[in-house]
Amino acid sequence: MSILVVGSMAFDDIETPFGKAERIVGGAGTYIAYATSYFGVETRQVAVVGGDFPKEVLADYEKRNIKIEGVQIKEDEKSFFWSGRYHTNMNSRDTLVTELNVLEHFDPIIPDSYQGADYVMLGNLTPTVQRQVIERLNDRPKLIAMDTMNFWMDIMLDELLKTISMVDVLIINDEEARQLTEEYSLVRAARKILSMGPRFLVIKKGEHGALLFEGDKVFFAPALPLEEVFDPTGAGDTFAGGFMGYIARTDDTSFDNMKRAVIYGSAMASFCVEKFGTERLVNLTAKEVRDRVFKFEQLISVDLKLSEA
Amino acid sequence: MSILVVGSMAFDDIETPFGKAERIVGGAGTYIAYATSYFGVETRQVAVVGGDFPKEVLADYEKRNIKIEGVQIKEDEKSFFWSGRYHTNMNSRDTLVTELNVLEHFDPIIPDSYQGADYVMLGNLTPTVQRQVIERLNDRPKLIAMDTMNFWMDIMLDELLKTISMVDVLIINDEEARQLTEEYSLVRAARKILSMGPRFLVIKKGEHGALLFEGDKVFFAPALPLEEVFDPTGAGDTFAGGFMGYIARTDDTSFDNMKRAVIYGSAMASFCVEKFGTERLVNLTAKEVRDRVFKFEQLISVDLKLSEA
Residues in chain B with CB shorter than 8 Å from the CB of A221 are 302
In tens, the pLDDT along A265-305 reads: 999 999 999 999 999 999 999 899 999 999 999 999 999 98
**Which chain A residues are within 8 Å of B184, Cβ to Cβ?**
88-89
What is the C-alpha separation between B152 and B117, in angstroms, rounded? 27
**Which of A186, A228, A302 lies nearest to residue B263, judging by beta carbons?**
A302
Inter-chain residue contact A302 with B219, CB threshold 8 Å: yes
Chain A residues closer than 8 Å to B305 by CB: 260
Residue A170 CA to residue A256 CA, distance in Å, equals 17
* Residue of B208, B209, B302 with shortest CB distance to A219: B302
pLDDT at B81: 97
B303 contacts A290? CB cut-off 8 A: no
User: A307 at the B interface (CB within 8 A)?
Assistant: no
- Could you tell me which chain A residue has the CA closest to the CA of B305? A260
Report the distance separating Cα B261 and Cα B252, nearest Å. Answer: 10
B240 near B210, Cβ under 8 Å?
A: no
Question: Is A62 within the bounds of a domain?
Answer: yes
Cβ <8 Å between A298 and B217 = yes
Nearest to A217 by CA among A236, A191, A248, A195: A191
Confidence of residue A92 (pLDDT cuts 50, 70, 90): confident
Interface contact flag, B209 A208, Cβ < 8 Å: yes
For chain B, how many residues are written?
309
Of chain A, the percentage scoring pLDDT greater than 70 comes to 99
Starting at the edge strand found earlier in the chain, the sheet holding A10-16 runs A19-26, A10-16, A80-86, A93-99
Q: State how far residue B104 is from chain A, nearest Cα, in angstroms.
A: 37
Give contacts of A 136-165 with B, CB under 8 A: none
Q: What angle do CA A242, B184, A268 make, to 5 degrees?
A: 10
| A246: CB partners within 8 A, 6+ apart | A39, A260, A261, A264, A265
Record: contact A208-B211, CB cut-off 8 A: no
How high is the pLDDT of residue B228? 86
Q: Is residue B20 part of a domain?
A: yes
CA distance to partner chain A, nearest, from residue B43 (Å): 20
Q: Looking at the complex, report in whole angstroms how far the Cα of residue A300 sits from the nearest Cα belonging to chain B.
A: 6
A308, pLDDT greater than 70: no
B293/A contact by beta carbon, under 8 A: yes
Chain A residues in contact with B306 (beta carbon < 8 A): 290, 293-294, 297
Residue A173: phi, psi to the nearest 5?
-95, 175
Residue at A305 is within a domain: no
User: By the CB < 8 Å criterion, does A260 face chain B?
Assistant: yes
- Please tell me the distance in Å from A145's CA to the nearest CA on chain B: 21
User: A273, A304, A305, A307: best mutation site toward chain B, by most B Cβ within 10 Å?
Assistant: A304
Provide the 3-class DSSP secondary structure of residue B6.
Answer: strand
Cα–Cα distance for residue pair B205/B184, rounded to 1 Å: 13
Render pLDDT for A45-78 as a digit per residue (tens, 0 to 9): 999 999 999 999 999 999 999 999 999 999 999 9
Residues 170-229 of A with CB under 8 A from B: 184-188, 205, 208-209, 211, 217-222, 225-229
Q: Which residues are CB-contacts of B54 (< 8 A; sequence separation ≥ 6)? A: B25
Check B256 against A302: CB less than 8 A apart.
Answer: yes
pLDDT at A89 over 80: no
Which residue of B304, B305, B307, B308 is the best one to mutate when testing the A interface, meaning the one whose CB has the most A CBs within 10 A? B304
What whole-number distance in Å separates Cα of residue B79 and Cα of residue B81?
A: 6
The domain that holds A95 is classified in CATH as 3.40.1190.20
Residue A308 lies in a domain: no
Q: What is the DSSP letter of B208?
A: G
pLDDT value of residue B173: 96
> How large is the average pLDDT for residues A164-186?
97
Q: Does B295 touch chain A (CB under 8 A)?
A: no
Total domain count for chain B?
Answer: 1
- In angstroms, the CA A80 to CA A69 distance is 19
Whether the CB-CB separation of A45 and A71 falls below 8 Å is answered with yes
In percent, the amount of chain A with pLDDT more than 90 equals 93
Residue A303 and residue B260: Cβ atoms within 8 Å? Answer: yes
Tell me if B116 is assigned to some domain: yes
Task: Tell me the per-residue pLDDT of B224-262, one tens digit each, with 9 for 90 and over.
Answer: 999 888 899 999 999 999 999 999 999 999 999 999 999
pLDDT value at residue B185: 93
In chain B the first and final C-alpha atoms are separated, in Å, by: 44
* Interchain contact B96–A (C-beta under 8 A): no
* Residue B306 located in a structural domain: no
pLDDT of B306: 84
pLDDT at B307: 76
**Contacts of residue B226 in chain A, CB cutoff 8 Å?**
185, 187
Q: Kindly give, in sequence order, each residue whose CB lies less than 8 Å from that of residue B51, ignoring residues fewer than 6 positions away.
A: B73, B74, B75, B76, B77, B78
Evaluate whether residue A307 is within a structural domain.
no
Residue A9 pLDDT grade (very low, low, confident, very high; cuts 50, 70, 90): very high
Distance between A212 CA and the closest CA of chain B, angstroms: 9
Contact criterion met (CB below 8 Å) for B277 and B25: yes
Domain residues for the domain of B233 are: 2-301
Beta-strand relationship, B119-122 and B143-147: parallel
- Residues of chain B above pLDDT 70, percent: 99
- Residues B177-204 have a mean pLDDT of 97
Chain B CB contacts of A294 below 8 Å: 306
DSSP state of A37: G
Closest-CA distance, A207 to chain B, in angstroms, reads: 9
Q: Is residue B307 part of a domain?
A: no
Over residues B59-110, the pLDDT tens digits come to 999 999 999 999 999 999 999 999 999 987 777 889 999 999 999 999 999 9
pLDDT computed for residue A306 by the predictor: 83
Q: Does residue B309 surpass a pLDDT of 70? A: no
